[in-house]
Amino acid sequence: MQEQDIPIDINTGKLLDWLINRRHCKKDWHTNILTIREKINNAIQDMPAHDGIALLLSGAYINYFYCVKIVEILKETEADTKNLFGRYGSQRMKDWQEILRLYEKDNVYLAEAAQMLMRNVNYEVPSIKKQIQKLEQSLTDFEKKEMEYKKSENMARTEYNALCKQLGINGYSTARRELMEKVAELPEIYRSVAAKTKCLDKVVEFYSAFVEFTLGRQYDSNCVSMIKYVIEKGNTTTYEYTYGEAPVSIVEPAINIKADEDENDGGIGVDTNAIDFGNLDLNGEIDFGEEVNLEPAEGDIDWGDESLEQPATEEINYNISLEESGIVVEAVGHEGGAATGCDAYTILDNPVTRVDFINQLFELEAFMKLRLYEFKGDDKKNLLSFSQMQDASSILQLSTTESTQNMLDNIQVVLSEILHNDVQHLHNIKHYPRYVDVVVTGLRQKLNLIGRMVAQQESMRQKQEDAQNQTDKLRPLLKLVVQRTRELQTEIEQDISKKYKNRTVHLTGGVNTL
Which range, of 7-11, 78-82, 134-138, averages the lowest pLDDT? 78-82
- List, in sequence order, the alpha helices (H) in 304-420: 322-325, 351-376, 394-397, 401-418
State phi, psi for 7 to the nearest 5 degrees: -75, 155
Instruction: Measure the CA–CA gap between 379 and 360, rounded to whole angstroms.
Output: 28
Quick check: helix, strand or coil at residue 173? helix
Beta bridge partners of 8: 505
Q: What does the pLDDT look like over 57-90, one tens digit per residue?
A: 765 578 888 888 888 888 887 776 676 556 776 7
Distance CA 484, CA 69 (A): 14
d(CA 259, CA 238): 29
| Segment 212-217 mean pLDDT | 73
How far is the C-alpha of 470 from the C-alpha of 135, rounded, in Å?
8
Total Cβ atoms within 10 A of residue 483: 13
Q: Which of 329, 365, 336 is nearest to 236 (CA)?
A: 336
Mean pLDDT over 18-29 rounds to 92
In this prediction, residue 176 carries a pLDDT of: 79
476-499: pLDDT as tens digits: 999 988 988 898 999 999 999 999
Residues in contact with 25: Cβ distance below 8 Å, sequence separation at least 6, in sequence order: 16, 19, 106, 107, 108, 110, 111, 114
Contact present, 291 and 281 (Cβ < 8 Å): no
| pLDDT mean over 179-200 | 89
**CA dihedral in degrees (458, 463, 465, 471; nearest 10)?**
-170
pLDDT at 217: 61
Output the DSSP codes for 285-329. Answer: -B--TTS--SSPPTT------GGGSPPP-PPP-TT--HHHHTPPP
Confidence of residue 389 (pLDDT cuts 50, 70, 90): low
Helix H or strand E segment including 276: none
- When mean pLDDT is compared across 92-96, 127-131, 303-307, 455-459, the lowest value belongs to 303-307
β-pair partners for 280 = 286
Task: Using alpha carbons, list the distances in angstroms from residue 331 to 138, 285, 325.
Answer: 86, 50, 18
Cβ atoms 272, 452 nearer than 8 A: no
For residues 311 and 478, the model is more confident at: 478
Q: Which of 16-20, 325-329, 388-392 has the lowest mean pLDDT?
A: 325-329
User: For the whole model, what pTM was predicted?
Assistant: 0.60
Chain centroid to CA 183: how far?
32
For the chain, give every domain's residue range.
8-131+473-508, 164-258+338-455
Nearest CA to 467 out of 128, 140, 135, 143 is that of: 135
pLDDT mean over 329-340 = 57
> What integer best gives the mean pLDDT of the chain?
79
Q: Does residue 21 carry a pLDDT above 80?
A: yes
Q: What would the mean pLDDT of 279-300 be, rounded to a whole number?
A: 41
Tell me the pLDDT tens digit for each residue of 421-438: 888 888 888 888 788 888
What pLDDT band is residue 391 in, cutting at 50, 70 and 90? low
249-276: average pLDDT: 55
269 φψ region: left (φ > 0), alpha (ψ -120 to 50), beta (else): left
Contact 290/307 with Cβ under 8 angstroms?
yes
Average pLDDT of the segment spanning 310-328: 44
Q: State yes or no: pLDDT of 334 exceeds 70.
A: no
Per-residue confidence (pLDDT) for residue 129, from 0 to 100: 93
pLDDT at 333: 36
Would the pLDDT of 297 be above 50? no
